[in-house]
Amino acid sequence: MTKPCDVFDYQRLARRRVPRMFYDYADSGSWTESTYRANASDFDRLKFRQRVAVDMSDRNLETSMVGQPVSMPLALAPTGLTGLQWADGEIHAARAAEKAGVPFTLSTMSICSIEDVAAHTSKPFWFQLYVMRDRDFIGRLIDRAKAAGCSALVVTLDLQILGQRHKDVRNGLSAPPSFSLNSLLQIMARPAWAMRMLGTKRRGFGNVIGHVKGIENMTSLSEWSAKQLDPKLSWDDIAWIRERWGGPMILKGIMDPEDAKLAAKTGADAIIVSNHGGRQLDGAPSSIEVLPAILDAVGDDLEVHIDGGIRTGQAILKALCLGAKSTYIGRPFLYGLGAAGEAGVTDVLRILRNELDVSMALCGERDIHHVGRHNLYNPEVFEGNKWR
């Protein structure tokens, strides 16, 4: 087989190697998926200025995120059920991120627990928090992340109510997964995946099972999780979380300048411009479209990161040129993981790094800190949050 050249090669491989219900869980949006598609396609609206006869040697991609050094302005976003793309998937993805020198963010709804990942990595990773009704559990979850040495907390704000994803409904996928004849046939069609899953004991939600009173198996977890999304989540809760955590805090799910201003007032270190990968409010704008207005709203009050639609190193560069401090990938690393495990994630990160590096050079820049709107042919395309 020809070695994959880009993220899309890994996407095609993952589709063939992961049972459909789990592949679709990762690669889907809500309702018509219009926002899911726009997240990626809107990057194409931005064009680069190509420069020639300039010194392109000795290039540097190193920077920092919330005060922590990174090899390039990229982090692995939190993704639920990662360990069902590949057995022990969170551990493998965290190891790949560690080798690449970028942050890995473990989801609350991961298959491998905080302690599992900490035991199999040598550097701190980040932890993502869903704010649930059971505040006692949330407090203990924050304490566990601190005890494991997690170096930043990412609080997701846009999952107070679950957006409907039609592919999951049609596949009969629930959280936690329940198995029907249809799903069992999907698993039988992926024997290599099934053998890997049989070889691990990590098949439930490791951060929850055994850590909530009465939740000892997947059946009891299903009843508990259905009631835990908290529609009453408020900025007061964020203040409580910040005090309990006491370290770098990032707020994920900001899509409006007014919310960005409110987030800045919480004392957060960074916000992530994100629409949950198009998995919540279908019909919302893409992350890249709202980025300039959010940057205008908060200025230098905190770091502004972006998540959603990034499939190439060129998309990373475009986001940085518009003013984002850093970027996140979710689906691209899941494609690599589902296709080839840890080696696949490692290669996806290599591909993105190379695309970013070469594109930056061809724009006439040698240092990632020097890129900006001057490197774009049409930087005004999203000004005023309207198409030009």
Q: Is 369 a catalytic residue?
A: no
**Considering only CA atoms, which of 19, 110, 11, 22 is closest in space to residue 336?**
11
162 φ/ψ angles, rounded to the nearest 5 degrees: -85, 125
Q: Identify the CA nearest to 179 among candidates 212, 210, 203, 211.
A: 203
Q: Which two tokens stand for residue 338?
A: 């589902």
Distance CA 118, CA 90 (A): 11
**In the chain, which ranges are E strands?**
63-65, 68-70, 74-76, 105-106, 126-130, 153-156, 249-254, 270-273, 303-307, 326-329
What residue type is 372 in one-letter code? G
Pair 78, 99: CB distance under 8 Å:
no
> Nearest Cα to 325, choosing from 231, 216, 223, 250?
250
Q: Which member of 120, 166, 276, 374 is catalytic? A: 276
Tell me whether strands 126-130 and 153-156 are parallel, antiparallel or unpaired.
Answer: parallel
Q: From the CA atom positions of the chain, what is the Rg in Å?
A: 20
In angstroms, rounded to a whole number, what is the distance separating the alpha carbons of residues 177 and 199?
Answer: 19
Q: From CA 208, how far away is CA 217, in angstroms rounded?
A: 10
From residue 359, how far is each of 165, 316, 348, 356, 371 by CA, in Å? 35, 10, 16, 5, 11
Q: What are phi and psi of 363, to 5 degrees?
A: -85, 0
Residue 141 backbone dihedrals phi, psi, to 5 degrees: -65, -45
Q: What is the dihedral of CA 357, 250, 271, 155, to 10 degrees?
A: 120
Active site residues: 276
